[in-house]
């Protein structure tokens, strides 16, 4: 496997968020995460494995039998703006501290209007070299809420 570099890691992080913002097909997102030992921590659930990730992303059934609507079916007008990426690189693996500013809207029927959130999320990722995609790396651990979200005043909270 290849040794990781901070510049290439930053490109991978940007590509991850662009995929989420564009609601790319689930199969494209799956190329960015590990097939084995994947763990992802979100406010609503901790995911184990790529099948849980796909249910979270596009909708379906989690490995524990519960169902998910899929975040791409909930949120729209999403913007993830990378504020910073710090990496502790050790050969073909790295631990990342990522700060991302996220804005998104969602609608809850029968409300008259959609809701909008704006927050900074401080995340902790572990990535490793991989041949699954053009970036040469994949996520093996992803904690979307390594620290509490920092909401912008006046915006909705999740």
Domain locations along the chain: 6-151
Distance in angstroms (rounded) separating the CA atoms of residues 107 and 118: 15
Say which CATH topology domain 6-151 has: Nuclear Transport Factor 2; Chain: A, (3.10.450)
The arithmetic mean of pLDDT across residues 47-72, rounded, is: 97
Q: pLDDT digit string (tens) for 10-51?
A: 999 999 999 999 999 999 999 999 998 999 999 999 999 999
Q: Which residues contact 112 (CB under 8 A, 6 or more apart)?
A: none
Closest CA to 54 of 79, 76, 78, 32: 32
Predicted model pTM: 0.95
């Amino acid at each position: 496997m290849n040794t990781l570099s901070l510049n290439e890691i930053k490109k991978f992080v940007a590509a991850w968020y662009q995929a989420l913002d564009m609601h790319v097909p689930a199969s494209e997102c799956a190329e960015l995460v590990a097939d084995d030992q994947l763990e992802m921590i979100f406010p609503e659930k901790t995911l184990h494995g790529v099948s849980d990730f796909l249910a979270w992303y596009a909708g379906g059934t989690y490995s524990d039998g519960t169902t998910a609507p899929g975040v791409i079916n909930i949120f729209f007008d999403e913007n993830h703006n990378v504020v910073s990426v710090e990496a502790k690189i050790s050969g073909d693996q790295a631990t990342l501290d990522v700060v991302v500013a996220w804005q998104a809207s969602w609608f809850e029927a029968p409300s008259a209007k959609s809701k909008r959130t704006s927050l900074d999320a401080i995340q902790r990722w572990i990535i490793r070299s991989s041949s699954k995609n053009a970036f040469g790396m994949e996520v093996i651990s992803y904690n979307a809420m390594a620290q509490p979200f920092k909401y912008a005043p006046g915006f909705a909270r999740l």
